Amino acid sequence: MELKQQLKLSQQLIMTPQLQQAIKLLQMSRMELSELVQEELLENPMLEEGNEARETANPAPEESAAPEVRAHEAKKEEIDWERYLENHSTEAPMPSIRRGGEEEMPGLEATLSTSEDLSDHLGWQLRMGDFVEDERRFAALVIGNLDDNGYLKIEGIAPEDIVPRLAAESELDPEDAEEVLAMIQQFDPIGVAARSLEECLTIQAKHYGMDDLVLRVISDHLGDLEKRHYPAIAKALGCSLDEVYDVAQIIAELEPRPARRFQTEEPRYIVPDVYVHRVGDEYYVVANDDGMPKLKISGFYRSAMADNPKAKEYIQDKLRSAQWLIRSIDQRRKTIVKVTECIVEKQRDFFDKGIEHLKPMILRDVAEAVGMHESTISRVTSNKYVHTPRGTFELKYFFNSAIKRDHQNDIASESVKQAIKNIISGEDPKAPLSDQRIVEILGQDDIKIARRTVAKYREMLGILSSSKRKKYF
């Protein structure tokens, strides 16, 4: 079954700059998306901001510019998000629920978040993956040796010698180490931990299903591409100049510096992407459209295309770009809602009873449930926030590694942190509990973790050691 799906993907998925843009939209935060929309409103005359309901991806038949445009858009529809996401239909109607009042809005203190660095983001994905101990050690060494641009580099060591060196340090077979590295390179951001620009771009090109011509240009003609020696590339590869231009445009959309978006130190202001409402015994997920520009196609330029044949080609190009942007934003919205609905379903006990009942859950659990790739789930849940009756959370918060228990169901690591917090909050301030004593108390509830793990979780919670918590009066 998996082989059949893979063959179908390789035959039907066509990567275009528009589809690359759609994928980038998926990983953007709400603020980044809003900034992009404002830029597009300035640059694309076919886009207008309106107060009406969100424009659909295609204009109504009576407003369509020309039959050839409709035919072209029908062809474009064949390569939309659905094939990239390996998703099922997301056309189910959304509940029509409005927020009741200001008391449901997140408070001011919940709108500011510290920036997550690349190593934290990769470490989270590593914990969510299915790796054995020596593979985790190797992966941690890889993450620890990434440079500011997200490349795997060690001073004084040739790129081809890095993996054998780190494999030896982690006591992992070199062949297995290469496989683990390949898995890390599929983490978000795609292409991280590459050892060269060529490898970085190749990883992205393969991930996005680009054709052999793109891969050949990356592997053999990056120098010519940088110098814009397009005729030389066309001659060497036996293809037309137009094909080289198209390939150059596609490669220009790839990310040569995977760590770019993690290099800002500016604070992030949180506005929820979705809301979770409880109505009776049911939870409903509703997209937060407040504050987002509502895009529509300009009626003026539609009529101008008919009146001015010379401007027709330019306007058609801008029309296709505008329609694709509107479609991509709408699909992004539906995808976030779909993934959030799955999270709410799987973490129902958390929403009903609180953090102590958060279940272990990894990316694969949601990916399999909604029919998407794990890397897509990682993009959807990073920098996306949900406001719930229990507070505002980043979607990735709900993914937790499991702590094994002998006689009960496994417990989520976040639930263990909460248990530690509760234990410490109930201690005698004049005789605070040591980490070892907390280990023993947790053991009474069949939670068996090491003392160093308690210390690690305590530090993550911002709680001082017992000697520094002690109060003398």
Q: What is the pLDDT of residue 264?
A: 65
Joined together, the tokens standing for residue 360 give 């272990």
Residues 236 and 274 both lie in one domain: no
Give the residues across from 172 on adjacent strands.
Answer: none
Q: What is the pLDDT of residue 357?
A: 87
Q: What is the pLDDT of residue 9?
A: 41
Q: What is the pLDDT of residue 349?
A: 92
If we measure between CA atoms, which residue out of 411, 406, 404, 408 comes closest to residue 361? 411
Q: Which residue has the tokens 């999270």?
A: 343
Q: What is the pLDDT of residue 311?
A: 72
Give 5's contacts (C-beta < 8 A, 6+ positions apart). Answer: 86
Task: Please state whether the predicted TM-score (pTM) of the whole model is above 0.95.
Answer: no
Last residue of a domain, one of 260, 289, 307: 260
Q: What is the pLDDT of residue 234?
A: 94
The SS3 assignment for 236 reads helix
Give the residues across from 286 on adjacent strands.
Answer: 275
Q: For the chain, which ranges sit under pLDDT 70?
A: 1-19, 51-116, 264-268, 301-310, 472-473
Task: Note whether residue 447 is domain-resident.
Answer: yes
Residues 335 and 239 both lie in one domain: no
Residues 316 and 419 both lie in one domain: no
Contact 180, 135 (CB under 8 A): yes
Task: Note whether residue 355 is domain-resident.
Answer: yes
Contact 393, 400 (CB under 8 A): no
The single-letter code of the amino acid at 387 is H
Task: Note whether residue 106 is domain-resident.
Answer: no
Task: Note whether residue 390 is domain-resident.
Answer: no
Joined together, the tokens standing for residue 190 give 């795609």
If we measure between CA atoms, which residue out of 29, 33, 18 comes closest to residue 80? 18
Residues 122 and 252 both lie in one domain: yes
pLDDT tens across 309-329, in order?
A: 667 778 888 888 888 889 899
Please tell me the chain's helix, strand, coil percentages from 3-state DSSP, rounded to the nearest 5: 55, 10, 35
Cα separation, 397 vs 125, whole angstroms: 12
Q: What is the pLDDT of residue 17?
A: 63
Contact 311, 304 (CB under 8 A): yes
Joined together, the tokens standing for residue 301 give 């330029």
CATH code for the domain in which residue 456 is found: 1.10.10.60
Q: What is the pLDDT of residue 344?
A: 96
Task: Note whether residue 387 is domain-resident.
Answer: no
Total number of domains in the chain: 3
Task: Note whether residue 95 is domain-resident.
Answer: no
Q: Could you list the residue range(s) of the whole structural domain that residue 421 is in?
A: 402-469
Residues 309 and 372 both lie in one domain: yes
Residues 220 and 137 both lie in one domain: yes
